[in-house]
Amino acid sequence: MDDAKILPRKGGTHIDSTMKNTLRTADKPSPTPAQPLTAEARPVQQQQRRNPPIAGELTAIAQAQQGDGASFEILYNMHKRRVYSLCLRMLGNVAEAEDLTQEAFLQLHRKIGTFRGDSAFSTWLHRMAVNVVLMHLRKKGLPLVSLEETLEPAQDDGPRKDFGTRDLTLSGSIDRVTLERAVEELPPGYRLVFVLHDVEGYEHNEIAAMLQCSIGNSKSQLHKARMRLRSLLRQKANGKGAA
């Protein structure tokens, strides 16, 4: 494969010594949050936990920015699983998730020259992927935060519905596969907020900006998502759920 020949980027950004320093700093995430609503605003520890530095990534970024196709393929292989898993969890559909993974990496190829290392590369890329998914959902005309779910919560969703005595607690009873399946069963609006907040680690102010809803709405949707998950997981724990 001669990607190196087919992917020269005209006007690709060169990395000067200042930028190299910035990129090195990005590998040890910046100690000072920048502005709200950006990936940089997320707690450093959280970014590091979610997006640990990857060996060889800085070199691949620098070379891909100069048009090296093989380095772009290396970046794809480093990040494809994370980007695809994010798309799949947000969409719940394999074909759409693959299409949007493709679109996210094509967008990365177009924009990689603008990456300046202000945040970890993976944080920057994942935010790009989230935006690709949200734009896709908007184009389909799907409400990102369901009004119906907000105004008329289902039986298990309402915060005032849980007054009965319960014996079982979930603690220790959930395995990863069971939780993944339960997340897939969430209504789309709940699933988006849950994946963005609890799985991907975005803050409510970031989610509100992305979904164009209020922060309170984001908190409310997240709470309802967790309540619905609790109900689903209890059913599964009792053997009544997944057939």
Q: Which is nearer to another protein, 14 or 81 (CB)?
A: 81
Least distance CB 20 / another protein (angstroms): 26
Q: Strand, helix or coil at 43?
A: coil
User: Does residue 65 touch another protein according to CB under 8 A?
Assistant: no
- Return phi, psi of residue 4, to 5°: -60, -30
14 DSSP assignment: P
The alpha carbon of 148 is separated from its chain's Cα centroid by a whole number of angstroms, namely: 24
Name which position in 64, 75, 86, 213 contacts another protein (CB under 8 A). Answer: 86
**Interface region with another protein, contact rule CB under 8 A, candidates 15-23, 131-139, 175-183, 184-192:** 175-183
Burial class of residue 192 (count of CB atoms within 10 Å of its CB; 0-12, 13-18, 19+): buried
C-alpha 110/C-alpha 108 separation (Å) is: 5
One of 35, 114, 169, 238 touching another protein (CB under 8 A): 169
Q: Is 230 in the site for another protein (CB under 8 A)?
A: yes
Instruction: Say how far apart CA 136 and CA 119 lie, in whole Å.
Output: 25
| Those residues with Cβ within 8 angstroms of residue 123's Cβ, 6 or more apart along the chain or in another chain | 39, 42, 47, 50, 51
Among 27, 118, 156, 198, which residue interacts with another protein (rule: CB under 8 A)? 198
- Closer CB to another protein, 155 or 169, in the complex: 169
C-alpha–C-alpha distance, residues 91 and 15, integer Å: 36
Q: What is the contact surface with another protein in residues (CB under 8 A)? A: 1, 3, 6-8, 10, 69, 73, 76, 80-82, 84-86, 88-89, 97-98, 101-102, 105-106, 109, 159-160, 162-166, 169-171, 174, 176, 179-180, 183, 194, 198-199, 201, 204, 219-220, 222-223, 226-227, 229-230, 233
